[in-house]
Amino acid sequence: MSAPLIPVIETERLRLRGPKVNDLAPLTAFFETEGSAFVGGPMSAGATQTAMLSTIGSWALYGYGLWHVAIRATDRFIGWVGLLPRADKPEPSFAGAIMTADQRQGYALEAGRAALSHLTGQMNRFAPVTYIDAKNVPSLRAASQLGFAQEAADEAEITLRYVGRAA
């Protein structure tokens, strides 16, 4: 069962939804690898479970959070996208990731566009921000394609603000 507080968004190929128990095994497997380094990993199975549970808590406490991204036809979990509350930042971060095996199929952009449409439309978050590791070139490229523009930068991190869908 999906968490009832989390809106469901569907695109042609994807479903953005709340976490499900069956998502935990692939999420744990991903976070056990070095491929998770730019998104908080690697981390233990217990830490991964806590992170997944905090997704539901974020929606309950703040009214926003991360959606789990699934293939629409099968409901197979492939990643996440949405707003991530950050205690170390002045505002929540637009964030997302697609599992390694499902990358390079356009899912990140499709999910990102759907989430941004919802956030900037129905939720009135007109200009989400994202904080990206300066070495994370694929995420910087995706952010640009989604319509984010650089606002600030230092050696470690680039801050980008959503300015609208890029051409």
Domains and CATH numbers, the chain: 9-126 (3.40.630.30)
How many other CB atoms are found less than 10 A from the CB of residue 128?
23
Q: Which two tokens stand for residue 50?
A: 């806590």
pLDDT tens per residue, range 10-54: 999 999 999 999 999 998 888 776 676 556 667 788 877 888 888
Q: How far apart are CA 127 and CA 163, in angstroms?
A: 7
Q: How far apart are CA 93 and CA 158, in angstroms?
A: 12
Q: Quick check: 39 and 45 in contact, CB under 8 A?
A: no
How many other CB atoms are found less than 10 A from the CB of residue 46?
9
pLDDT tens per residue, range 48-71: 788 888 888 899 888 899 999 999
Q: One-letter amino acid identity for 138?
A: P
Is pTM beyond 0.85? Reply is yes
Query: What is the phi/psi pair of residue 9, to 5°?
Result: -125, 135
pLDDT tens per residue, range 77-106: 999 999 988 888 888 899 999 988 888 999
Q: Which two tokens stand for residue 39?
A: 């998104």
